[in-house]
Amino acid sequence: LPFYYSSQQTAPQPPLWSCAGGNSQLWEAPAAKTVKSHFLNALFLPFPWNSCQTGPVIDMPVPASFNDITQDPSLENYIGWVWYEKEVLLPLRWLQGDPAPRVVLRFGSAHYYSIVWVNGVQVVEHEGGHLPFEADISSVLQGSPGALCRITVALNNTLTPHTLPPGSIQYMTDKTRYPKNYFVQNIKFDFFNYAGIHRPVVLYTTPAAYIDDITVTTTSSESIAMVQYQVSVVGSTAYSLSLSLRDQEGKEVATGDGPVGELKVLNPNLWWPYLMHENPGYLYSLEVKMQAQVAGALLEDIYTLPVGIRTVHVTSTQFLINGRPFYFHGVNKHEDADIRGKGLDWPLIVKDFNLLHWLGANSFRTSHYPYAEEIMDLCDAYGIVVIDESPGVGIKLPESFGNKSLQHHLAVMEELIRRDKNRPSVVMWSVANEPASELPPAAHYFKTVIAHTKALDPSRPVTFVTDANYALDHGAPYVDVICVNSYFSWYHDPGHLEVIPLQLTAQFENWYKTYQKPIIQSEYGADSVPGLHSDPPMMFTEEYQTAMLREYHSVFDKKRKEYVIGELIWNFADFMTSQGTTRVLGNKKGIFTRQRQPKAAAFVLRDRYWKIANESSCLPPVVTSHSLFLK
């Protein structure tokens, strides 16, 4: 739904903050009163008829990043507070009843720091740009006349050494070179810091007593699977719970009751990855029904959770799904597209899954932050295996390894695991990408983050992605799988494809000798400008990108017989970055363009991935049509 939006500064002006000093107003809530007066005019702007305002208040689509929506360059690179507002008329029955239902306002994500008011009353604050947050707004609505619900959001995209991802604000104080109060946002990661309300905003209701959380884990042998569950209920202590597990035909296969228990499934249909089975992504549905007596009324809450039955194990040389070796032949992605930036976009999501299927990719890493729940749902349903990564990208500054950052990182892992713990597609957590793990404080930092992640979810392996030297990495001792990024013949020895066999072989052998853990090549790649050609291959041409891939592949083919368990290309598609001398309208390491058209490298990878997939005997005999992918 469209939101009204303004970048006008009624909140603290960016130049007034001192992110470096101790007097930061960054997280200080602006007064709700300011919001109200500022938006009195906006409340009457009709949408969509009045779609272009020249004043400070403009129409803004949600979900979307705000950066690329207008022609205003200052909005594109804007750092600081922005405001969104929308009025919604709620159904009256949402506000009636004894006890009245809970009305909840939920944001799929908003980047980076959000403060939300309903009818002028602050209801929630949230830090972090890639995970959901919500607020029970029932009491506010009961105190407000009528069913009008005015939602106001103040959003701040400033990154500091303690945010995730980290960044820093640099004030340029040389008055001969910069205007007064001039500052820049520095970041140590390679994608545009898009901001806005990026994922859907929904209002929903539950009864006053409701199912708050469900945790499901699965184990299985040949003919029997066990589904362990734990359900938490809020709002009543006098409740009953009944559970029913149904297969895809709707047949009930197991039942249970109570908040903790185990369901036994005979001859289970296991959840298999795409291309590992003729029926990948098999999902049961677990219906959880709660009944509770509250204030003399019988309340009922029902939640249906998709459940995939599968196991994950790691040995010193293999990654096992359902006891069978799994080889990651996949991609790294970004949430990124023209105009909408990082805003959720269904056509783009479905197009990307069709391209993954076309490519024969069985997996991706959510580089470098958690992706939308809508994307994760499709991974579960299609059998696309996910390495689920936190926004811990660009942790380079020594101060970002301190206790303040660490505590926030732990909280983010809690939010991520609460959101994604029941997803069969998620087979491993990645807590960070390319941190400065050669710094001594990285040892305590990663030991703590990884231990915390494992305590929250003992059922999955944990890793972080490194580009540090194998002998100097202080975090690697704590991971289950070594994930290593390297750019031989690109950032190192640019133009020299001939160094790849030697250097890549040494990379694998050194890591394996040191840790005896399986290894994923979690990034490798080269930029190519689509349509740029040269033979012999030169950097930035399509030929160079494909030649580099082939050099890497010949080493992978030797080492995957030993302990290399995966290869993830950098990157699925070209994506936007900050401007800089090494970026031509963004990063061009995509095998697809930003508009999702294939470069030559896409065809090389497609041949390879299908060949690897066909080495497995359980594939359907002929895979030619996209109809295979539509379940």
- Residue (192 or 445) nearer to ligand BDP, CB: 192
Report the distance separating Cα 246 and Cα 242, nearest Å.
Answer: 13
Residue 575 C-beta: closest distance to ligand BDP, Å: 8
Closest residue to ligand BDP: CB criterion:
190
- Residue (218 or 366) nearer to ligand BDP, CB: 366
SS3 587: strand
- Residue (368 or 408) nearer to ligand BDP, CB: 368
Tokens 């066909």: give the residue: 614
The two three-digit tokens of residue 281, written as one number: 């992504």
Residue 571 C-beta: closest distance to ligand BDP, Å: 7
The contact mask relative to ligand BDP for 278-297 (x = CB under 6 A, - = no) is --------------------
Question: Residue 389, interface with ligand BDP (CB under 6 A)?
Answer: no
Paired residues of 16 in beta bridges: none
- Residue of the chain from 345, 388, 523, 551 that contacts ligand BDP (CB under 6 A): 523
- Residue (67 or 545) nearer to ligand BDP, CB: 545
Q: In whole angstroms, how large is the CA radius of gyration of the chain?
A: 25
- Residue (270 or 465) nearer to ligand BDP, CB: 465
Residue 324 C-beta: closest distance to ligand BDP, Å: 30
- Residue of the chain from 157, 220, 405, 433 that contacts ligand BDP (CB under 6 A): 433
DSSP letters, 297-350, are EEEEEEEEEEE----EEE-SS-EEETTEE--EEEEE--S-BTTTBTS--HHHHH
Handedness of CA 535, 541, 546, 547 (dihedral sign): positive
Please answer whether residues 107 and 3 qualify as being in contact, where contact means their C-beta atoms are separated by less than 8 angstroms: no
Counting residues that bind ligand BDP (by CB under 6 A) gives 10
Question: Residue 587, interface with ligand BDP (CB under 6 A)?
Answer: yes
- Other residues' Cβ atoms within 10 Å of the Cβ of residue 295: 10
Tokens 């690109």: give the residue: 490
- Residue (161 or 590) nearer to ligand BDP, CB: 590
- Residue (105 or 386) nearer to ligand BDP, CB: 386
- Residue of the chain from 570, 572, 592, 609 that contacts ligand BDP (CB under 6 A): 570
Residue 577 C-beta: closest distance to ligand BDP, Å: 7
- Residue (276 or 432) nearer to ligand BDP, CB: 432
Question: Residue 333, interface with ligand BDP (CB under 6 A)?
Answer: no
- Bridge-based pairing of strands 482-485 and 462-466 is parallel
Residue 80 C-beta: closest distance to ligand BDP, Å: 25
The two three-digit tokens of residue 523, written as one number: 């990034």
- State the Cα angle at 350 between 346 and 353, rounded to 5°: 145
Handedness of CA 465, 469, 475, 481 (dihedral sign): positive
Contacts with ligand BDP in 109-168 (CB under 6 A)?
none
- Residue of the chain from 434, 457, 473, 542 that contacts ligand BDP (CB under 6 A): 434
Contacts with ligand BDP in 59-88 (CB under 6 A)?
none
- Other residues' Cβ atoms within 10 Å of the Cβ of residue 371: 24
Phi, psi of 235 (to 5 degrees): 100, -5
SS3 415: helix
Burial environment of residue 112 by CB neighbours within 10 A (0 to 12, 13 to 18, 19 or more) = buried
Question: Residue 365, interface with ligand BDP (CB under 6 A)?
Answer: no
- Residue (284 or 575) nearer to ligand BDP, CB: 575
The contact mask relative to ligand BDP for 461-480 (x = CB under 6 A, - = no) is ------x-------------
Catalytic pick among 127, 415, 434, 551: 434
Report the distance separating Cα 100 and Cα 121, nearest Å.
Answer: 20
Question: Residue 485, interface with ligand BDP (CB under 6 A)?
Answer: yes
Residue 602 C-beta: closest distance to ligand BDP, Å: 17
Give which of 510, 521, 526, 403 is closest to 463, Cα–Cα: 521
Question: Residue 589, interface with ligand BDP (CB under 6 A)?
Answer: yes
Question: Residue 190, interface with ligand BDP (CB under 6 A)?
Answer: yes
- Residue (541 or 587) nearer to ligand BDP, CB: 587
Residue 527 C-beta: closest distance to ligand BDP, Å: 7
Helix axes 346-359, 600-614, angle to 10 degrees: 60
Phi, psi of 585 (to 5 degrees): 50, 50
Residue 190 C-beta: closest distance to ligand BDP, Å: 4
Question: Residue 599, interface with ligand BDP (CB under 6 A)?
Answer: no
Residue 589 C-beta: closest distance to ligand BDP, Å: 5
SS3 148: strand
Report the distance separating Cα 317 and Cα 315, nearest Å.
Answer: 5
Q: Is 222 a known active-site residue? A: no
Please answer whether residues 203 and 103 qualify as being in contact, where contact means their C-beta atoms are separated by less than 8 angstroms: yes
Question: Residue 574, interface with ligand BDP (CB under 6 A)?
Answer: no
The two three-digit tokens of residue 262, written as one number: 């185990």
Q: Name the amino acid, one letter, at 617.
A: S
Residue 424 C-beta: closest distance to ligand BDP, Å: 27
Q: Name the amino acid, one letter, at 544.
A: Y
Q: Residues interacting with ligand BDP, by CB under 6 A?
A: 190, 368, 433-434, 467, 485, 523, 570, 587, 589
Tell me the catalytic residues: 434
